[in-house]
Amino acid sequence: MTKQITTSFQRGDAAGVSSKQSLIIKNFFLRYGTIVALLVVTLILAFTTPSFMTALNIKSMLAQTAVLGIVAIGLTFVSIPGEMDVSMGSVVTLSGVFAVSMMTKEYGLFAALAAAAAVGIVVGSINGLISIYGHISSLIATLTIGAIIDGVSLLYTGGYRLYKGILPSYRYLGIGEFVNIPVPVIILILVAVLAYLLAHQTVFGRRLFAIGGNTDAAILMGINPKLHSLLSFILCSTAAALAGVIVTARVGTAEPFVRFGYVLDAFAVVFLGTTTSEEGEPHIPGTVLGILIMGVLSNGMTLVGVPFFAQNILKGVIVLITVVVSSIMRQQRK
Amino acid sequence: MMDKLALEMNQITKFFPGVLALNAVDFSAYRGEVHALVGENGAGKSTLIKILSGIYKKDSGEIKIGGEVVEIASPKDARLKGVSTIHQELNLVPFLTATENMWVGREDVLKNPFISRKKMQAEAQRVIDRLKIDLPLNIPVKHLSVAQQQMVAIARTLAEDAQILVMDEPTARLAAHEIERLFEIIRRLVSQGVTVIYISHRLDEIFKLANRITVLKDGCLQGTFDVQDVKPPQLVRMMVGQGVEDRYHKVNVEKGGDLLICEGIADGKKLKDVSLKLRAGEILGVVGPVGSGRTELVKALYGTNRVTSGSLVLEGERFTPRKPADAIERGVALIPEDRRGEGLIMHMDVSENITLPNIGRLSPWGFLRKRRERKIGEEIAHQVDIRMSSSRQRVRYLSGGNQQKVVVAKWLGKKSKVFLLDEPTAGIDVGAKAEIYQLVSNLVAGGAGVIFISSEIPEVLGIADRILVMRSGRVVAEFDRSEATEEKILTVVLAGNVNVETDNVETEKVSG
Amino acid sequence: MSTETFNLKKSGNFLARYGTFTALILITLAFGLFVPKFASFSNIMTLLVQISMLSIVASGLTAVFVVGELDISTGAVVSLGGILGAYLMNNQIPPAAAIVATLLVGVVFGVVNGFIVGYLRIPALLGTFGTSVIALGLNFWAGNGSSIRISKEVTSEFFMSLGSGTFVGIPIPFVVALMVFIFFLFLLEHTKWGLRMYSVGGNQEAATNFGINNRRMKFTAFVFCGLTAAIAGLLLSSRLGAGSPIAGDAYTLDAIAAVYVGVSMFREGEPHLFGSVLGVLIFGILVNGMRLMGVGYEVQSILRGIFILGAVAIAGNRAQLRVKLF
């Protein structure tokens, strides 16, 4: 009996050896291709564009990327258990509107931040409750909730931009610097570290991954997928709300009719991140890598002189190619 | 009519990794005969059929249809050569009508891209008439009964002009009177020259319907017989074979007190009335045909299905699981039938899977302590002897047997007391099976109780202390290890089905 | 023995089956009675035009739903069609050539979507998201971030009449929508390809067993969907007199919602063209009526969102039924 096991075991190994070489190469590209791409792009830019490797440019690049980064990290949380949130752009707007309006009414900085946080938590709960307990695909649910929130922003402001009474302490969150580092960047780093700890170092995170991997099995192991997904929706919306604060703090106004253009980019970032994990699941380090790539790409394209509006096309093409290549490789491996 | 061979399969051999699934099997069928294919689970029936219907490729041997050697490359190819298979799951499009289901994919016959529903329906009606059955042709098939859906599937094969019709357990989900109707239809088909290959576990049906019977066992041909030349007991003996006991090494364990007591539990659906006692250190085997309620029993005990009546006592205290977490809390562990779909997180590694049910307790304040977790995971993995490159290997890349060990190992860290194993050895090769038995023996040696559900009677005989036979949601017989034989158990299982003819299935009497 | 159980089961679907239809009638009646201008001839003409574009997009999207997939790039392709049409007109390309070129671009997007989803088996959400980013990028690039106004001097009357002209008294967009509708009605309900598409969406395994090429069916559906989005975009830009990079955005959600609303109507939990068009009608009438009542854009979008959620909640639950049927 034991003999039989060893033979089947060996046979498995022997079959593996022939294709092992190519498998290693494939795996390498699959996992580290994105990182290599980042390095290559950075190097090319560094050598061809003198203005790229300056402290000033790097600082502004990171500051520009911070908002996108926070949104993308939030999005990573809903993506881990296999959900989707496209209402984030609307939440960014709404939280900015509420936060600024608190200051317009002279309730102070904390009221402003509390209002933003409340927006995040409430919208996240609604998204989660509707899509999980209402059995509606989270894409449809959040798409619709997003439209509703847009309406709320417009209704609340009457369509006018808000800028009165914004406190300097609030603006500091957007344009301030702390030991020579832009505050948004510090916030991004903090968010990234917290997100990493939560997703990869806690029981909550482990269970989220388990749900994303196999919901049925997770249930049979006593995990409550609905509760965990709900929490991930709330985390996501809260991140968007934080982004809303930073956006308004940077520009100094809250504009209810400006649709937040980063949502598509945030998706692209998370997708790019998934390509760096062996099984194609979203994860925080991958997302951070994606943020860097997007940041370098946008910045580089601007420096090189790619028209602003053409940049999106390039990003779209890059995302599509990455997604296609990585999923083909993954399919082949199975 | 029965003089020409419609199908010959000669010296068919098929390997699966580590297993010889078919060993030079010969099989042939005449035009216009019903040829039954019998054997235990894993005997090779379905492998043979899948080769015939183009799902598997044979490793060697030849297939002749109507005297000509053919290669069958795909299901579509099989159908073009006149072989149609009706699988248990029927494969219809639920919201299309019977007519549409009979026509879709072969509308080319009508030579017109614009389909005329009238014409399609007229054709469908013609087929239905040929079968002499009455079938609503214009409502979505999802509103039809299982039996009617089966008629649709049969009608489609007829419309396709199938010469050889393979039916895999066609009566598994039918009521007694529906089975009768199905038999009439099969007889009618046969009289029109169609060859029917009929796979079933139910010997009574086979003796009623078949002209010849082929018995397979462990991938080998046991023989082909005319139905009048054999008796059921002979067949059973051939299916069972000799020397089964040698494969199992039953370890005798001191039995403790009552661990789990069920009193007349039901779930309001398939589980009607089950009472049982499980003692510490005991392995309780549960056998019964698919749909007998054995899986529902496990689900009820694990809290995935609600118990609507009856009572459960676990370790002397009332036990009312409403969700899996409740059951886990009380030390009940489930090893589900669908290992990949319900037992494992495939993209996680071995250690992560093993510690997952226990992760809350291993992580003070909700923070993972990965080094300690891995150490524990590795310890348990070695304890159950999982063959892996390291504990970081993802379970996706383990063999079926080793995956199953991971599923069991998950519960070892949890110190579970009652283990519910639903078909734990399905799809696992022989060597790994022995290891799973060993693992189960170790569990009971540690004082746990095991409920072991299986379709393979010999395996239950080999490992269980007591054996319950279930049917229609009830326990219909109980055997002690000392008195149980495969023939006795099989007789109860099959006898049950013989009774179906006289009883109405819904209100069967319980026999003990 | 069967008809009895059948009727029983069928009657249970009453609410979901006729609920949408009842809603449509109630809404129409309410507006007709309480909003004075609603039933006027000119308003009905406006209404017909308003629903035309969405109806065209929804028709194409229905085909994608029928094969069991999803396309979230429709809105971006609608905008692209409009922008491209406007751009070509401003560059004095003959209208016929401009129209053909625009439609071709729509088809190209459909081909890319169909290839990625159908042949490469990449989840539709991901794949069509990628193409939508590209389409959006093109939109913004072409107009440098703003709309391209079609200059009256250079454009042909023919092109402008597409959006605002009439044909024997009927608005041309509506005529086009009707033609598209009839085309898809034939395709999905009366040809063998339609039947095959339904099978692919209903039970892929069965479809494979029936010898149907799943991939080709999915591919085809996406191509048609891209084409209809481009048609809608052309009409839209002609009507607005400009191509806007975001004018089509709303169509993504509205079309999905319209198809979902229709899911509850026919074929019992399956997408169906009549149902989709009914959904379009409901949206069109709601928006039109609310506008006449002077309801602000923002309240409209809130109400519409709530309505969609309600419809999807009813239909979505039912649509899940089909998966575990056999």
Q: Specify the higher pLDDT residue, B503 or A41.
A: A41
- Nearest CB to C190 within list B89, B110, B115: B115
Question: Could you tell me which of A261, A268, A282 has the C-alpha nearest to residue A317?
Answer: A268
Angle, helices A225-251/A88-104, rounded to nearest 10 degrees: 50
Q: Residue B356 and residue A5: Cβ atoms within 8 Å?
A: no
Domain containing residue C122? 15-320
Using CB atoms and an 8 Å cut-off, which of residues 103-162 of chain C contact chain A? Answer: 116, 120-122, 125-127, 129-138, 140-141, 143-145
Q: Which of B451, B499, B460 is nearest to B476 (CA)?
A: B499
Contact A201 B18 (CB under 8 A): no
* Chain A residues touching C309 at Cβ < 8 A: 130, 134, 136, 141, 144-145
Looking at the complex, report in whole angstroms how far the Cα of residue A201 sits from the nearest Cα belonging to chain B.
5
Report the gap between the CA of A97 and the closest CA in chain B (Å).
35
Q: Say what the pLDDT of residue B247 is.
A: 54
CATH number for position C82: 1.10.3470
Cβ within 8 Å, pair A202-B334 = no
CB contact under 8 A, A130 and C138: no
**Any domain includes C294:** yes
Chain B residues close to A214, C-beta within 8 Å? 341-342, 344-346
d(CA C165, CA C157): 10
Q: What is the 3-state composition of chain C as percent helix, strand, coil, each rounded to the nearest 5?
A: 80, 5, 20
- Does position A7 have pLDDT exceeding 80, yes or no? no
Distance from CA of B175 to the nearest CA of C (A): 13
Beta strands in B42-200 (DSSP E): 60-65, 68-70, 83-86, 164-168, 195-199
- Compute CA distances B456 → A288, B277, B486, whole Å: 52, 22, 10
Chains in contact with B, counting 3 or more C-beta pairs less than 8 Å apart as contact: A, C
* Closest chain C residue by Cα to residue A327: C122
Cα–Cα distance, C238 to C52 (Å, whole number): 13
Tokens encoding C293: 């009542």
pLDDT of B485: 84
Is the per-residue pLDDT at A210 higher than 80? yes
Q: What is the pLDDT of residue A24?
A: 63
Three-state secondary structure call for residue C149: strand
State the pairing for strand pair B274-279/B258-266. antiparallel
CB C154 within 8 A of CB C92: yes
pLDDT tens-place string over residues C98-109: 999 999 999 999
**Exposure string for C21-59, b = 16+ CB within 10 A, e = fewer:** eebbeebbeebeeebeebeeeebeebbbbbbbbbbbbbb
Question: A161, A106 in Cβ contact below 8 A?
Answer: no
Question: Domain count of chain A?
Answer: 1
**Lowest mean per-residue pLDDT among A44-58, B163-177, C312-326:** C312-326
Instruction: Provide mean pLDDT across the span C32-56.
Output: 91
In a domain, C326, yes or no: no
pLDDT of amino acid C102:
95
- Answer yes or no: is A256 within a domain: yes
Length of chain C: 326
Q: Measured in whole angstroms, how far is the alpha carbon of residue B245 from the centre of its chain?
A: 23
Q: How far is the C-alpha of C275 from the C-alpha of C279, rounded, in Å?
A: 6
Going residue by residue through chain B (512 aa), what tens digit of pLDDT does each one get? 456 889 999 999 998 766 688 989 999 999 999 999 988 767 888 889 989 988 888 999 999 998 899 999 888 888 888 999 888 777 898 888 999 998 888 777 767 778 888 888 888 998 888 888 888 888 888 888 888 888 899 888 888 888 999 998 888 777 777 888 889 889 999 998 999 999 887 777 888 899 999 998 888 898 999 989 988 778 877 877 654 445 566 777 888 889 999 999 998 888 889 999 999 999 999 988 767 888 899 999 999 998 999 999 999 999 999 999 999 999 999 999 888 889 999 889 999 999 999 898 888 889 999 999 999 999 999 998 888 888 998 898 887 888 999 999 999 888 899 999 998 887 676 667 788 888 999 999 989 999 999 877 878 888 999 999 998 888 989 999 888 888 888 778 766 544 333 333 333 333 33
| Residue C246 near residue C139, CB atoms below 8 Å | yes
Contact list, A141 vs chain C (CB under 8 Å) = 309, 312
- How many CB atoms sit inside 10 A of residue B478's CB? 15
Residue C121 lies in a domain: yes
Report the complex ipTM. 0.82
- Between C317 and A91, the more confident residue is A91
Nearest residue of chain A to residue B342 (CA atoms): A217
Please give the Cα distance from B430 to B409 (Å, whole number).
20
Once rounded to an integer, what is the mean pLDDT over residues A145-167?
90
- What pLDDT digit, counting tens, does each position of C171-224 carry? 999 999 999 999 999 999 889 899 999 999 888 888 887 888 899 999 999 999
β pairing state of B220-226 and B212-217:
antiparallel
Q: How far apart are CA C24 and CA B430, in angstroms?
A: 63
* Closest in B95, B113, B136 to C202, CB measured: B95
Is residue C1's pLDDT more than 50?
A: no
Interface test mutation site (partner C, options A313, A315, A329, max chain C beta carbons within 10 A): A313
Name the residue facing A320 among C130, C141, C257 (closest C-beta): C130
In Å, how far are A129, B357, B413, C12, C130 from A224, measured between CA atoms?
14, 12, 20, 32, 32
Our CA-based measurement puts residue B352 at a distance from the nearest CA of chain A, in whole angstroms, of 9
**Per-residue pLDDT band at A1 (split at 50, 70, 90):** very low
Q: Enumerate the H helices of B410-485 as residue ranges.
A: 430-445, 457-463
- Could you give the CA distance from residue A136 to residue A129 in angstroms, rounded to a whole number? 10
Does the beta-carbon distance from A222 to B368 stay under 8 Å?
no
CB count, 10 Å around CB of A313? 20
User: A309 vs C131: CB contact, 8 Å cut-off?
Assistant: no
Query: Is-contact B373 B404, C-beta < 8 A?
Result: no
- A246-301 pLDDT per residue, tens: 999 999 999 887 665 677 788 888 888 887 877 778 999 999 999 998 888 888 88
Cα atoms in the 13 Å half-sphere on the side-chain side of A42:
17
Q: What's residue B243's pLDDT?
A: 44
Paired tokens of C191: 């040809």
Q: Residue A71 domain-assigned? A: yes
Residues of A in contact with B434 (CB under 8 A): 1
DSSP for residue C5: H
Does any CB of chain A come closer than 8 Å to the CB of residue C297?
Answer: yes
DSSP for B155-180, written as a single string: HHHHHTT-SEEEEESTTTT--HHHHH
SS3 A137: coil
| Per-residue pLDDT at B504 | 36
Report which DSSP code applies to B322.
Answer: S
CA distance B295 to chain A (A): 14
- Residue A179 in domain: yes
> What are B120's two structure tokens?
């399609």
Which residues of chain C make contact with B114, given a CB cutoff of 8 A? Answer: 186, 190-191
Cβ distance of A151 and C134 shorter than 8 Å: no
- Taking CB atoms and an 8 Å limit, are C301 and A148 in contact across chains? yes
A236 pLDDT more than 50: yes
Say which of C122, C300, C312 has its CB closest to residue A324: C122
Going from the C-alpha of B204 to that of each of A220, B288, B492, C230, C246, the distances in angstroms are 39, 16, 12, 64, 70
pLDDT tens-place string over residues A290-332:
999 888 888 888 888 888 777 878 877 877 787 777 777 766 6
In angstroms, what CA-CA distances link B295 with B40, B222, B292, C217? 19, 31, 8, 38
Q: What sign has the CA pseudo-torsion B376, B377, B380, B386?
A: negative
State mean pLDDT over C78-84.
94
pLDDT attached to residue B499: 39
Searching chain A, which residue's CA lies closest to the CA of residue C300?
Answer: A151
B104: Cβ–Cβ under 8 A, 6 or more apart, which residues?
B93, B96, C192, C195, C196, C198, C199, C207, C210, C212
Inter-chain touch B145–C2, beta carbons under 8 Å: yes
B17 in reach of chain A (CB within 8 A): yes
Tokens 């392709």, residue located: C77
Nearest-neighbour CA in chain B from A320: distance (Å): 24
Is the CB of A316 less than 8 angstroms away from the CB of C299?
A: no
| B41 vs C280 pLDDT, higher one | C280
Residue A19 lies in a domain: no
**B136, C211: Cβ pair inside 8 Å?**
no
Decide: residue B232, CB within 10 A, 0-12 exposed, 13-18 middle, 19+ buried.
middle
Specify the length of chain B in residues.
Answer: 512
Specify the pLDDT at position A331.
Answer: 67
H/E/C letters for each residue in B181-205? Answer: HHHHHHHHHHHCCCEEEEECCCHHH
Quote the Cα angle for C129-C135-C141, to 5°. Answer: 135
DSSP string spanning B335-388? E-S-IIIII--TTSBHHHHHHGGGHHHHSGGGB--HHHHHHHHHHHHHHTT---
How far, in Å, CA of A132 to CA of A163, rounded? 37
Cα–Cα nearest to C244, from C103, C130, C114, C78: C78
Of the CA atoms within 13 Å of residue C308, those in its CB half-sphere come to 32
B419: part of which helix (H) or strand (E)? strand B418-422
The answer to whether C195 contacts B100, with C-beta atoms less than 8 Å apart, is yes
Whether chain C has a CB inside 8 Å of the CB on A307: the answer is yes
Q: Do B368 and A203 touch (CB under 8 A)?
A: yes
User: Identity (one letter) of the amino acid at A87?
Assistant: S
The region, left, alpha or beta by phi > 0 then psi within -120 to 50, assigned to residue B231 is beta
Instruction: List the domains of chain B with CATH numbers.
Output: 5-242 (3.40.50.300), 245-331+416-507 (3.40.50.300), 347-413 (no CATH)
Which CATH number belongs to the domain containing residue A232 in this structure? Answer: 1.10.3470.10
Which of C312, C317, C324 to probe the A interface (max A CBs under 10 A)?
C312
What pLDDT does residue C320 have?
Answer: 40
DSSP state letters, A171-206: HHHHH-EETTEEHHHHHHHHHHHHHHHHHHSBHHHH
User: What distance in Å separates the CA atoms of residue A81 and residue A145, rounded to the nearest whole number?
Assistant: 20
Asked if pLDDT for residue A6 goes beyond 80, the answer is: no
| A54: containing domain | 33-333
User: Residue A126 — very low, low, confident or very high, per pLDDT cuts 50/70/90?
Assistant: very high
Nearest Cβ partner for A312 among C121, C133, C246: C133
CB contact under 8 Å between A1 and B410, yes or no, is no
On whether any CB of chain A is under 8 Å from the CB of B348, the answer is yes
Tell me if A16 is assigned to some domain.
no
**B164-168 and C166-167: which strand pairing?**
unpaired
Residue (of A201, A203, A189, A237) closest to A83 by Cα position: A237
Q: What is the largest CA-CA distance in chain A?
A: 81
Distance from CA of A79 to the nearest CA of C (A): 12
Per-residue pLDDT at C278 exceeds 50: yes
- Give CA–CA dist B175/B163, Å, rounded: 27
Number of domains observed in the structure of chain C: 1
